[in-house]
Chains A and B, each alone.
Chain A
Amino acid sequence: ATPPSPAPAEPRSSSDERNQSRINPSRESMDASAAAAGGGDGTQRTLNPYVTGNSVIAMKYKDGVIMACDTGASYGSTLRYKSVERIKEVGKHSLIGGSGEFSDFQEILRYLDELTLNDHMWDDGNSLGPKEIHAYLTRVMYNRRNKFDPLWNSLVLGGVKKGPKGDEKYLGMVNMIGTHFEENHIATGFGNHMAIPILRGEWREDMTFEEAVKLIEKCLLVLLYRDRSSINKFQIAKITTEGSTIYPPYALKTNWGFAAFENPSKGAVGTW
């Protein structure tokens, strides 16, 4: 959405004005430079992400869908926020997990709030299921991409809703350019490279919750070891026909007691 154009200049005290242009560029000059950057019409577009969240991993299991991620959000190479919730409930039937630009994720949560509020106001017993929300998000992401102003996220949408064939589990993902699909297991970011091979090898239909947690923890551990921006504080969430649960954050046990780490200079004299 384009930002509102600057309000007509209200009378400001002279000290305000001087402070404004000294400390912060004035709104007008910021808009002017944005206009120059964005093609002369004053609109802005996302060029880089700033505060970013890491991978999200999710998979279907016997009773529903399980989703997990760490609770960190980085500001470039700085680990800025360590207690961020990147999995949220949407309506009664779905969970959304977001990686990428965190402010864009919050914006998407606001859009979804509007959707669920609408549902609530209709008050007709009907509610949006995960498939519908995934389709909605796909349209939003794709259209923003077409306007060259993307929401810089990879979103994972999972849930369970009663359908014509009974309880139907659904898991899908959509990313910042509008690529979207449905699968039995999903991972975003580095998870694509490190978690997906594990999931492809070990995921089974009808896993119990305990088995699913074990598999997801295996993936989270690999990411913890190998993804430099991940932290040892994870949240697991599950959604079933009974409802959704987002568990409190916890840490995984890591093992650094490898022989090669214990005496690193053994094989190379003079190194440290």
Chain B
Amino acid sequence: CRGAATGSTRTTAGPAWPSPARTTAWSPPTPASPSDTTSSRASTPRSASCKADKCVIASSGFQGDIKALQKNLAARELLYQHQHNKRMSCPAMAQLLSNTLYYKRFFPYYAFNVLGGLDSEGKGCVYSYDAVGSYERTGYSAQGSGSTLIMPVLDNQLKSPSPLLVPARDAVTPLSESEAVDLVKDVFASATERDIYTGDKVEIVVINKAGTRREYIELRKD
């Protein structure tokens, strides 16, 4: 896990060196029935933190900026709780994250985020971001150095329809929790094969009505 925090050897006059971006992937299945709602998120450690009511952020990029960003969001979330006497919903946190990132549009947080959780109807939601705050709610996502390796696999496995279709078709094939977790383990194992920055360990967080569960899988032990 410490390997993820050390910087790459690119040198510039200013010290804005990113640390090797870890990989983050999300894939929530659509619920077969409302009680089956699950979403799973996987990333290498130290990028996850719990926010709001069943909402988790996973970040990839420069660790200093990631910590600063997550600290910022945690403070704002606490403020929200004091002011509104309730926890922030996932869509609300999604908007807050976007605004926080855009606030530093001209000196960005070098952080590539995926937000995941349950929306107010209890369905799984995934929001995917770039470094300056543009975001989109999707069925699944991957960010970080291994994202280019992972996304095509998810696209293929989760049968994403063309975004050009009218009316728009729902993005995600219904998956059970174990199928989703297995898929996440598989894509991370694949990314670890070819991406030097992905590896050591992956943290899988599963959020559903029952609660939040964490699992750690060792990688790169071969």
Q: A142-B68, A181-B5 are in contact. Are A176 and B15 (CB under 8 A)?
A: yes
**B interface, over-half SS:** loop
Which listed segment binds A: B6-14, B119-127, B172-180? B6-14
Name A181's contact: one of B2, B16, B17, B62 (CB within 8 Å). Answer: B2
Interface status of A148 (Cβ within 8 A of chain B): yes
Cβ of A126 to closest chain B Cβ, rounded Å: 23
Q: Is the CB of B2 within 8 A of A148?
A: no
Interface status of B67 (Cβ within 8 A of chain A): yes
Question: Which of B5, B13, B64: most chain A Cβ within 10 A?
Answer: B64
Tell me the chain A residues, 157-179 only, with Cβ under 8 Å from chain B: 175-179
In the bound complex, residues from chain B placing their C-beta under 8 Å from that of A178 are: 64-65, 67-68
Interface status of B46 (Cβ within 8 A of chain A): yes
Q: How far is the CA of A180 from the CA of B71 in the complex (A)?
A: 13
Q: How far is the CA of A148 from the CA of B17 in the complex (A)?
A: 11
Number of interface residues of B (CB under 8 A): 18
In the bound complex, residues from chain B placing their C-beta under 8 Å from that of A192 are: 6
Name B46's contact: one of A142, A176, A181 (CB within 8 Å). Answer: A181
Interface status of A233 (Cβ within 8 A of chain B): no
In the bound complex, residues from chain B placing their C-beta under 8 Å from that of A176 are: 15
Q: Which residue of B lies closest to A178 (CB)?
A: B64
Interface status of B38 (Cβ within 8 A of chain A): no
Name B63's contact: one of A45, A179, A183 (CB within 8 Å). Answer: A179
Q: How far is the CA of A180 from the CA of B65 in the complex (A)?
A: 11
In the bound complex, residues from chain A placing their C-beta under 8 Å from that of B107 are: 146
The 8 A CB mask of B35-73 against A (1 = contact, 0 = none) is: 000000000001000000000000000111101100000
Cβ of A150 to closest chain B Cβ, rounded Å: 5
Cβ of A37 to closest chain B Cβ, rounded Å: 10
Q: How far is the CA of A146 from the CA of B110 in the complex (A)?
A: 12
In the bound complex, residues from chain B placing their C-beta under 8 Å from that of A177 are: 7, 15-17, 62, 64
The 8 A CB mask of A172-215 against B (1 = contact, 0 = none) is: 00011111110100000000100010000000000000000000
Cβ of A196 to closest chain B Cβ, rounded Å: 8
In the bound complex, residues from chain B placing their C-beta under 8 Å from that of A23 are: none
Interface status of A145 (Cβ within 8 A of chain B): yes
Q: How far is the CA of A180 from the CA of B46 in the complex (A)?
A: 11
Q: How far is the CA of A178 from the CA of B7 in the complex (A)?
A: 11
Cβ of A101 to closest chain B Cβ, rounded Å: 12
Q: Is the CB of A179 within 8 A of B15?
A: no
Interface status of A1 (Cβ within 8 A of chain B): no
Q: Is the CB of B14 within 8 A of A180?
A: no
Q: How far is the CA of A177 from the CA of B18 in the complex (A)?
A: 9
Q: Is the CB of A148 within 8 A of B14?
A: yes
Cβ of A28 to closest chain B Cβ, rounded Å: 25
Q: Is the CB of B63 within 8 A of A150?
A: no
Interface status of A269 (Cβ within 8 A of chain B): no
Q: Which residue of B lies closest to A152 (CB)?
A: B15
Q: Is the CB of B64 within 8 A of A150?
A: no
Q: How far is the CA of A148 from the CA of B14 in the complex (A)?
A: 5
Interface status of A47 (Cβ within 8 A of chain B): yes
Question: Which of B14, B15, B65: most chain A Cβ within 10 A?
Answer: B15
Q: How far is the CA of A152 from the CA of B2 in the complex (A)?
A: 21
Interface status of B19 (Cβ within 8 A of chain A): yes
Tell me the chain A residues, 209-224 only, with Cβ under 8 Å from chain B: none
Q: Is the CB of B46 within 8 A of A145?
A: no
Q: A47-B13, A148-B14, A176-B15 are in contact. Are A142 and B64 (CB under 8 A)?
A: yes
Q: Which residue of A lies closest to B64 (CB)?
A: A178
In the bound complex, residues from chain B placing their C-beta under 8 Å from that of A180 are: 63-64, 67
Q: How far is the CA of A151 from the CA of B63 in the complex (A)?
A: 18
Cβ of B163 to closest chain A Cβ, rounded Å: 37
Q: How far is the CA of A159 from the CA of B211 in the complex (A)?
A: 36
Q: How far is the CA of A177 from the CA of B12 in the complex (A)?
A: 12
Cβ of A5 to closest chain B Cβ, rounded Å: 23
Q: Is the CB of A179 within 8 A of B19?
A: yes
Interface residue ranges, B against A (CB under 8 Å): 2, 5-7, 13-17, 19, 46, 62-65, 67-68, 107
Q: Closest 9 interchain pairs by CB?
A: A178-B64, A148-B14, A179-B63, A150-B15, A177-B15, A179-B64, A142-B64, A179-B5, A145-B15
Interface residue ranges, A against B (CB under 8 Å): 45, 47, 138, 142, 145-146, 148, 150, 175-181, 183, 192, 196
